[in-house]
Amino acid sequence: METLDYLLAALTPFNLLLAIGGVIAGTVIGALPGLTATMAVAVLVPFTFTMEPAAALIVLGAIYTGAIYGGAYAAILLNTPGTPSAIATTFDGYPMARRGDGDLALTVACLASVIGGLVGAGFLWLLAPPMATVALKFGPVEYFWLGLFGLTLIASLGEGSTIKGLIGGCVGLLLSMIGVAEVGGDIRFVGDFKPLLGGIDVIAALIGLYCIPVLIDLVATPVAHLDSGGRISSFRLAEAIHIVKNAKFNLARSSVIGTVVGILPGAGGSVASLISYSEAKRASKRRAFFGKGEPDGVLATESANNATVGGGFIPTLVLGIPGTPPDAIILGALMVQGIRTGPTLFTQQAPIVYTFIFGLLLATILMLPIGLLIGRFAFRSLVAIPKSVLVPSVALLTILGSYAVHNNIDEVQQMVILGVLAWCVGRLGFSASPIVLGLILGAIAERGFVQGNLIGNARGSVMAEFFARPISLGIIFFIVLGLLWPLWSNYQARKAGEAHD
Amino acid sequence: MIKRAIPVLPLFGSVIVIGIGWAAVAATAEYSELGALFPKTVGALMVALGFVYLVQTLMGRSGASAPADGSNLRRFLLMAVMLGWSFSLEWLGFLPASAAAQAALLLIAQHVRWTFKKALTYGVSTAFVLLALYALFKHALQVPLP
Amino acid sequence: MKQISKIALATLAAVATSMAAAADYPSKTVNYVIPFGPGGESDISARLQEPVFKKLTGQSLAIQYKPGAGGAAGWSKLNDMTADGYTVMGTNLPHIVLQPMAKDVGYQTDDVTTVFWFHYTPDALLVPSGSPVKNLKDFIAAAKQAPGATTLSGSGTNSANHLAQQQFDKLAGIKTTYIPFKGTGASNAALLGNQVSGSWGYSTVQIKLGDQVRCLGVAMEQRHPQLPNCPTFKEQGFDLVGGAYRGVAVPKSTPANIQMKLASDLAKVNADPEFIRKMEAGGFAMLNVGPKEMPQFMADIKARYGALAKEMGIVKK
């Protein structure tokens, strides 16, 4: 049977080595704030030119999935997402770390990432062509509604007040508009200040808004950053497995959400983990604990973001359209190798594709032991480092990370300035996530809005364009649900309270 | 009814929010129709939200946290160092600027008294981290540092 | 006498060292900055150059991305970069001519010193293969029937795609609506998903998407070797030849002999038969414009785009 052949091809020692190496490299790079999965893949692409296409794909895929997983480390231990897809992991990951459950959080993140990655790769294996057609049905208008959906989720997220969350989101939106407008070409909010021409970089904002306030507060007191609770850290594997077993539905739903969002070109892990987090919170009986260190939150986000890896490959391989930025690089690498993507890839070049898919599955499985080991090492070292060395080191990482994105000093300065401002408004009760999410989603939403407008105008009716498409209506339904739900559950809670009187 | 003092900072904050929103709307006068739509909407939204925030603050529900505990001086120093670091990278070059900043941060973050041994180990380990990361970025990742 | 011989000696030494420097160049990795995100045509063509460059010179090209403002973020910083020849940047036409014309983007066209233009991607008008429009005549007829209703996706505003749409609309006497997308990937997705009626892309897109799209016309003098079924606009009666040109630039103050050496190295890369084969297989059209031809080429291009821009109303007040 051919499938067996491909499986065996994926298991050759060389490919195995590539998978292991890729996962390790990816995890380490993803863990460093500022180094994204995109960067990790971009750096290592030149080395793949001398390899066979299948092998090249395996190592790039392994790096990609390792990097997405690695982003959880900094998110949990430093409250700084290592990659944008780990933003939602900070919501519960960091509180868990602060109360001494950091090692549990890391293990849960590892398990979730592996499961999510397997689901995504599974979809890639079995359902790629049909899912690709689904991706194509998402037009500009759908992206607008999706972006809007993400923005409304911001309001329901925060432990802080909804108003502050919304204000933060608006700030993020305004920040996203700085620079040259994609559609129309206006230069907005720049004035004569040239460094802002390129806009606010998402990664620089990410690092600054999350990490700098942590550093600022770290130096103020002699209290240790993270407490290992006096107990020797272990994997806490049994505990973690128990949590996973009880959260089967959460995992399944989050992984599917991650895969589907990954299929949509332009929406990435950050959107996926945001949506799955919000859904997990909505569906959970323990929703009051979300945001305070609830493992189910970490499960939801980490499985969703790793599922986007497999999902993202679907449009990449089937349509030749990259699902996420690392996919764009991988696509370029394939072109250089002379591989033509498209529907024929699965039929004419089946050996390459299926060997790769099995390699990806393999790399994902390998992430479990590798991830746990690296995680334990990371946790132990971080807890052991005295604060006075930790602060300069992390600060160095922030500088390097924000610089390395585009080799641009302006972005380092953006990072610091935003960070200081973030601390100031943090004292007032504003948190970083709505701002960053506004920044990311603002671009998506505005693009979709303007394009939808243009198309609607050309077709005769803007309103019909925005409101008469089936998928759009589906998303609008969720938006309305999302806005009304808190009111509904408040009402329910109050009724229950009254019943007790 | 106990009269609570209206906290000043959130008051400022809400006014600033309103101000930003209004400025955003004003700035859109120059933009093309499509380019102005989003900023105008968001700006207007901010103004509205800013007012709600203002009202909340006046009613005493501003939700600001208690004054920060710990040393504000150190906080301020850290901010100064970080700002100085980011702006001096081009002038001084990566290694000199970073070494200086790291040394400064080491001092700022240290709360317990220094001993010679501690100073040595901490200094060496910080320097080690600096060099290791420098090598990683410059050579392994091919990032051209200033 | 001694004075003159001292000067002569010094000059000789200077010339010798700089020639030696040029001869040594490149002696280490060259940073190749692409002012766009990864995965686009600029990235792919650069990646194809990489192994050939390495084979030729023994040094690697380290590709970095510096996207922003449609390329302006990179070009406005070009002359601030180290001018030793080890930092080079991709350049694109029509971008570097149109952008400064339209508004203040932080650089002027003449600030960008391109040493070599190595290919162009000819404009191509594409429709999904399921579209009822079978050829250019059908397309024009449909557009005439419902002015403005035909939506065409493309990458970016005031880009090559946008220009092509404007030019062709004028040539054919029709009115279509251009929908800008962020990058070719997004534009292609819209095309394949039938979100738009068609797309102004390049020959590279036709090759990439294969049977899923139909090419109504390509802007070349003769049909592309890899696309025998794609008629040119010229043979259908429309004088539309051109597309997006890509080249390599250096900071202005890079020594002249280093610039020449770089140009000649790039020319050698461009002559490599394997490189040519891969580029053409991808849909690119080769081009060789080096320092000698540069002034005339740029003057022609500026004149051509200048006229177009004025007509389109792009030029800033």
- Report the pLDDT value the prediction gives residue A234, as an integer from 0 to 100: 67
Q: With CA atoms as reference, report the closest residue to A299 among A326, A313, A279.
A: A279
List CB contacts (< 8 A) between A407 and chain B. 143-144
Contact A58, A360 (CB under 8 A): yes
List CB contacts (< 8 A) between C87 and chain B. 144
Q: Does A28 touch chain B (CB under 8 A)?
A: no
Q: How many CA atoms lie within 13 A of A474 on its CB side?
A: 7
Contact A141, A472 (CB under 8 A): yes
End-to-end Cα spacing for chain B: 61
CB within 8 Å: A194 and C76:
yes
Contact B78, B101 (CB under 8 A): no
Q: Does C195 touch chain B (CB under 8 A)?
A: no
Residues in C 63-82 with any Cβ partner in A closer than 8 A: 63-70, 72-73, 76-77
> Rounded to an integer, what distance in angstroms lies between the CA atom of residue A320 and that of residue C89?
26
- Closest CA–CA distance from residue B15 to any residue of chain A (Å): 12
> Rounded to an integer, what distance in angstroms lies between the CA atom of residue B109 and that of residue A176?
34
Nearest Cβ partner of A396 from B63, B125, B130? B130
> Rounded to an integer, what distance in angstroms lies between the CA atom of residue C283 and that of residue A305?
35
> Rounded to an integer, what distance in angstroms lies between the CA atom of residue B43 and that of residue B25?
5
* Residue of A39, A51, A180 to mutate, interface with C, max C Cβ within 10 Å: A180
Q: Closest residue of A to C106, CA-based?
A: A194
- Radius of gyration of the CA atoms of chain B, in A: 23
Tokens of B128: 């080690």
* Residue of C209, C226, C315, C316 to mutate, interface with A, max A Cβ within 10 Å: C209
Residues contacting residue B70 through CB under 8 Å, at least 6 positions apart: A217, A220, A221
Give the three-class secondary structure for C173. Answer: coil
Residues in B 86-145 with any Cβ partner in C closer than 8 A: 142, 144
Tokens of C103: 């508004």
Residue A229 in this model has a pLDDT that exceeds 60 = no
This prediction has a pTM of 0.83
> Rounded to an integer, what distance in angstroms lies between the CA atom of residue A377 and that of residue A31?
13
CB within 8 Å: C29 and B142:
yes
The alpha carbon of A170 is separated from its chain's Cα centroid by a whole number of angstroms, namely 21
Contact B13, A428 (CB under 8 A): yes
> Rounded to an integer, what distance in angstroms lies between the CA atom of residue C283 and that of residue C298?
24
> Rounded to an integer, what distance in angstroms lies between the CA atom of residue A380 and that of residue A362?
27
- Report the pLDDT value the prediction gives residue B2, as an integer from 0 to 100: 45
Q: Does A396 touch chain B (CB under 8 A)?
A: yes
List CB contacts (< 8 A) between C30 and chain B. none
CB within 8 Å: B21 and A170:
yes
pLDDT band at B1 (very low <50, low <70, confident <90, very high): very low
Tokens of C117: 């233009």
> Rounded to an integer, what distance in angstroms lies between the CA atom of residue C222 and that of residue C207?
17
E-strand stretches of chain C? 30-34, 61-65, 87-93, 113-128, 151-155, 177-181, 198-202, 213-218, 243-250, 285-289
> Rounded to an integer, what distance in angstroms lies between the CA atom of residue C247 and that of residue C114?
7
Contact A117, A100 (CB under 8 A): no
Q: With CA atoms as reference, report the closest residue to A364 among A130, A67, A81.
A: A67
Tokens of C85: 């020849």
> Rounded to an integer, what distance in angstroms lies between the CA atom of residue A427 and that of residue A409?
28
CB within 8 Å: B106 and A221:
no
- Report the pLDDT value the prediction gives residue B49, as an integer from 0 to 100: 86
Per-residue burial over A300-322, b if 16 or more Cβ lie within 10 Å, else e, is bbbbbbbbbbbbbbbbbbbbbbb
Burial (CB count within 10 angstroms: exposed 0-12, middle 13-18, buried 19+), residue A156? middle
Nearest Cβ partner of C195 from A139, A336, A342? A139
Nearest Cβ partner of A454 from C44, C73, C177? C177
The alpha carbon of A414 is separated from its chain's Cα centroid by a whole number of angstroms, namely 22
CB contacts < 8 A, B to C, total 7
CB contacts < 8 A, A to B, total 197
Nearest Cβ partner of A336 from C48, C60, C181? C48
List CB contacts (< 8 A) between B144 and chain C. 31, 64, 87
pLDDT band at A167 (very low <50, low <70, confident <90, very high): confident
Phi and psi torsions of A304, nearest 5°: -65, -45
List CB contacts (< 8 A) between A417 and chain B. 83
The two beta strands, C61-65 and C30-34, are parallel
> Rounded to an integer, what distance in angstroms lies between the CA atom of residue A292 and that of residue A294?
6
Residues in A 217-246 with any Cβ partner in B closer than 8 A: 217-222
Q: How many CA atoms lie within 13 A of A41 on its CB side?
A: 29
Q: Which helix (H) or strand (E) holds C72?
A: helix C72-75
Contact B55, B84 (CB under 8 A): no
Nearest Cβ partner of C38 from A38, A451, A459? A38
- Radius of gyration of the CA atoms of chain C, in A: 21
Q: Does B32 touch chain C (CB under 8 A)?
A: no
CB within 8 Å: A220 and B137:
no
List CB contacts (< 8 A) between A460 and chain C. 149
Residues contacting residue C147 through CB under 8 Å, at least 6 positions apart: C174, C175
CB within 8 Å: A170 and B45:
yes
pLDDT above 70 as % of chain A: 93
Q: With CA atoms as reference, report the closest residue to A258 among A449, A122, A142, A71.
A: A122
Burial (CB count within 10 angstroms: exposed 0-12, middle 13-18, buried 19+), residue A491? exposed
CB within 8 Å: A395 and B72:
no
DSSP string, A261-288: HHHSTT--HHHHHHHHHHHHHHH-TTGG
Question: What sign does the dihedral A15-A21-A25-A27 (CA atoms) show?
Answer: positive
Tokens of C249: 């630039």
> Rounded to an integer, what distance in angstroms lies between the CA atom of residue A333 and that of residue A336?
5
CB within 8 Å: A219 and B31:
no
pLDDT in tens, chain C (317 residues): 567 777 666 666 666 666 666 677 888 889 899 998 776 788 888 988 988 998 888 888 888 888 777 788 889 889 888 888 889 999 998 889 888 887 778 889 989 999 999 999 999 999 998 899 998 999 999 999 988 889 999 988 878 898 899 889 989 999 999 998 887 888 888 998 888 999 999 998 888 888 889 999 999 888 988 888 899 999 998 988 888 999 999 999 999 889 999 999 999 999 999 899 888 888 888 889 999 999 999 998 888 888 888 877 777 65
Residue in the structure block whose two tokens are 């594409």 = C126
pLDDT band at A117 (very low <50, low <70, confident <90, very high): very high
- Closest CA–CA distance from residue B34 to any residue of chain C (Å): 12
Contact A212, A415 (CB under 8 A): yes
Q: Does C189 touch chain A (CB under 8 A)?
A: yes
A398-454 pLDDT tens trace = 888 888 877 778 888 889 999 999 988 888 888 888 888 888 888 888 888 888 888
Burial (CB count within 10 angstroms: exposed 0-12, middle 13-18, buried 19+), residue A293? buried
> Rounded to an integer, what distance in angstroms lies between the CA atom of residue C3 and that of residue C11?
12
> Rounded to an integer, what distance in angstroms lies between the CA atom of residue B78 and that of residue C180?
44
Nearest Cβ partner of A322 from C39, C157, C190? C39
- In the 8-state DSSP scheme, what is residue B138? I
B24-68 pLDDT tens trace = 888 887 777 777 778 888 888 888 888 888 888 887 766 666 666
CB within 8 Å: B62 and A428:
yes
- Closest CA–CA distance from residue A173 to any residue of chain B (Å): 7
Residues in C 268-297 with any Cβ partner in A closer than 8 A: 278, 281-282
End-to-end Cα spacing for chain A: 69
Q: For residues A279-303, give the mean pLDDT.
A: 87
Q: How many CA atoms lie within 13 A of B101 on its CB side?
A: 29
Residue in the structure block whose two tokens are 């000093």 = A409
- In the 8-state DSSP scheme, what is residue B139? I
Distances (CA, A) of A119 to A268, A311, A318, A365: 16, 9, 18, 11
Distances (CA, A) of C45 to A85, B126, B134, C38, C189: 29, 42, 31, 11, 21
Residues contacting residue B33 through CB under 8 Å, at least 6 positions apart: none
> Rounded to an integer, what distance in angstroms lies between the CA atom of residue B141 and that of residue A47?
12
Q: Closest residue of B to C63, CA-based?
A: B142
- Report the pLDDT value the prediction gives residue B36, as an integer from 0 to 100: 79
> Rounded to an integer, what distance in angstroms lies between the CA atom of residue C88 and that of residue C82?
9
Q: Which helix (H) or strand (E) holds A24?
A: helix A13-31
Rounded to the nearest integer, the mean pLDDT of chain C is 86
CB within 8 Å: B137 and A389:
no
The two beta strands, C87-93 and C30-34, are parallel
- Closest CA–CA distance from residue B94 to any residue of chain A (Å): 10
Q: Which helix (H) or strand (E) holds A397?
A: helix A387-404
- Closest CA–CA distance from residue B55 to any residue of chain A (Å): 11
Angle at B84 between CA B80 and CA B89, to 5 degrees: 155
Contact A473, A467 (CB under 8 A): yes
